[in-house]
């Protein structure tokens, strides 16, 4: 059945709601109509959905399954023209994130536009997300190329280096094979019982292949990002336990294509951390920007997490078994609008006349304990991040032979009083895709 906990999980996995998101304020009036959809090709299984619907037993075991809702459902043709665009819900969410940061760090906001720097990738959803965030942060409705938002770059080594990396494409398409692990998971007892449970709930017998049930799951969660106020009838066919099982499939794919499943993923994440270190060093030396923000995709966000050693388990994500206590859960670490924020403070106390620099990190507006005790002293920050200062993409050239070092799986290893804020560094994921495809 479709419970409140299922609702929360869908928010994390398939819509643009932040984990721990605060209730929205009133949104500015806007003429924008941003929308997202999966490509219709992802939903071709539903071209025959009336056959499925008429096969559903009215005496279904689920009291939450509304057969009339399923029969009345129709594809919204408007979505065909706005594939992978930002939804209005997504725009509002980024706007509210900017507004919350403005209220939390008022010292960041300056009339000097030269104190800000923002850049996104060239996708409509990232460009529109940057516009929304800047509008919430500054009150200025500025588009890409405006005074605050830099034009996207065709090749961006900071926020989309994997698109420039031939070695990454070579490894991603050969070894290790994420889909082999996914297929292994399809064969597990847990997955087979989940399929059987869904079939019994909707009155089908041995008709749901893995491809079809994943399509149903994608339709449920992604359609919600277009109409967040309406419950998709397709969501009612899944129980909480079903959703827990299904979310693991993306965890497997992301682990190998973006995360600790291949060393090159962590290497690609270092380019953004190099810029973070350089930006903070500039501010430490008395120059630089008040606020720097980049708008990218889940691929890049997870590569940065990998480079920083975040959300790393003592085991590898495989298809053989799903570990319920794992840290690598993409519905929690990289939902839509995921953000990684680093803030530098000048800190003083009554007993100190010289300001001390501190750096604090946040993931989805919750503090990350990057250093012991939470915030990092400047010395701790330098010690941890100077290693990224020489990050390059030289390793991206494909080799004639397959290097074991570049293809190996990474096996995991077993507040002061603030007076002023000097720099905020923001990295936001705004990608919209039902699976990882290197976006």
Quote the DSSP letter at residue 425. Answer: E
Q: What is the pLDDT of residues 228-287, one digit of tens each?
A: 677 778 888 999 999 999 999 999 999 999 999 999 999 999 999 999 999 999 988 888
pLDDT score, position 383: 96
pLDDT score, position 272: 96
Quote the DSSP letter at residue 59. Answer: T
Nearest to 123 by CA among 96, 95, 163: 163
C-alpha atoms less than 13 angstroms from C-alpha of 318 in its C-beta half-sphere: 9
pLDDT score, position 5: 45
pLDDT score, position 225: 65
pLDDT score, position 399: 64
Q: Which two tokens stand for residue 285?
A: 């030396």
Whole-structure pTM over 0.75, yes or no? yes
pLDDT score, position 340: 96
Q: What is the pLDDT of residues 56-99, one digit of tens each?
A: 554 445 555 667 777 777 777 766 666 677 878 888 999 999 99
pLDDT score, position 400: 57
Fold (CATH) for 4-74+92-429: Rossmann fold (3.40.50)
Phi first, then psi, for residue 111 (nearest 5°) are -75, -15
Q: What is the pLDDT of residues 300-320, one digit of tens each?
A: 999 999 999 999 999 999 999
- Number of Cβ within a 10 Å radius of residue 313: 14
pLDDT below 50 — which residues of the chain?
Answer: 1-54, 58-60, 143-146, 402-422, 430-439
pLDDT score, position 243: 94
pLDDT score, position 9: 38
Q: Which two tokens stand for residue 272?
A: 């953004």
Helix (H, G, I), strand (E, B) or coil at 259: coil
CB 167 within 8 A of CB 264: yes
pLDDT score, position 165: 95
- Number of Cβ within a 10 Å radius of residue 16: 27
């Amino acid at each position: 059945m479709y419970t409140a906990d299922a609702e929360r999980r869908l928010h994390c996995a398939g819509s643009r709601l932040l984990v721990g998101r605060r209730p929205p304020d009133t949104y500015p009036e806007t003429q924008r109509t941003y929308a997202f959809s999966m490509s219709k090709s992802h939903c071709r299984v539903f071209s025959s959905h009336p056959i499925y619907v008429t096969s559903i037993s009215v005496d279904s075991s689920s009291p939450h399954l509304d057969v009339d809702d399923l029969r009345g459902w129709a594809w919204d043709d408007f979505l065909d023209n706005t594939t992978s665009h930002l939804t209005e819900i997504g725009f509002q969410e980024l706007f509210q994130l900017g507004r919350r940061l403005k209220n939390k760090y008022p010292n960041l906001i300056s009339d000097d536009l030269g104190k800000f720097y923002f850049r996104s990738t060239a996708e409509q959803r990232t460009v529109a997300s940057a516009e929304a965030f800047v509008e919430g942060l500054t009150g200025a409705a500025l588009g890409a190329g405006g005074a605050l938002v830099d034009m996207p770059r065709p090749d961006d080594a900071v926020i989309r280096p994997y698109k420039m990396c031939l070695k990454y494409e070579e490894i991603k398409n050969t070894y290790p094979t994420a889909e082999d692990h996914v297929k292994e998971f399809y064969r597990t007892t847990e997955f087979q019982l989940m399929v059987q449970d869904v079939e019994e709930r909707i009155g089908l017998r041995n008709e749901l292949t893995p491809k079809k049930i994943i399509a149903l799951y994608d339709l449920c969660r992604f359609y919600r990002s277009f109409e967040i106020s309406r419950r998709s009838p397709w969501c009612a066919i899944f129980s909480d336990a079903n959703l827990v099982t299904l979310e693991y499939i993306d965890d497997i794919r992301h682990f190998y294509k973006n995360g600790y499943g291949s060393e090159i993923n962590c290497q690609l994440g270092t380019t953004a951390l190099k810029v973070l270190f350089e930006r903070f060093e500039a501010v430490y030396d008395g120059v630089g920007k008040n606020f720097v923000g980049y708008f990218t995709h889940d691929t890049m966000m997870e590569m940065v997490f990998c480079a920083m050693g975040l959300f790393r388990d003592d085991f590898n994500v495989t298809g053989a078994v799903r570990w319920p206590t794992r840290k690598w859960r993409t519905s929690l670490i990289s939902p839509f609008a995921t953000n990684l924020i680093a803030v530098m403070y000048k800190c003083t106390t009554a007993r100190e006349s010289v300001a001390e620099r501190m750096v604090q990190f946040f993931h989805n507006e919750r503090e990350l304990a990057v250093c012991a005790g939470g915030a990092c002293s400047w010395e701790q920050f330098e010690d941890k991040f100077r290693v990224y200062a020489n990050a390059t993409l030289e390793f991206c050239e494909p080799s004639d032979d397959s290097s074991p070092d570049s293809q190996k799986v990474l096996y995991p290893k077993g507040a002061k009083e603030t007076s002023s804020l000097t720099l905020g560094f923001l990295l936001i994921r705004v990608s919209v895709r039902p699976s990882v495809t290197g976006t």
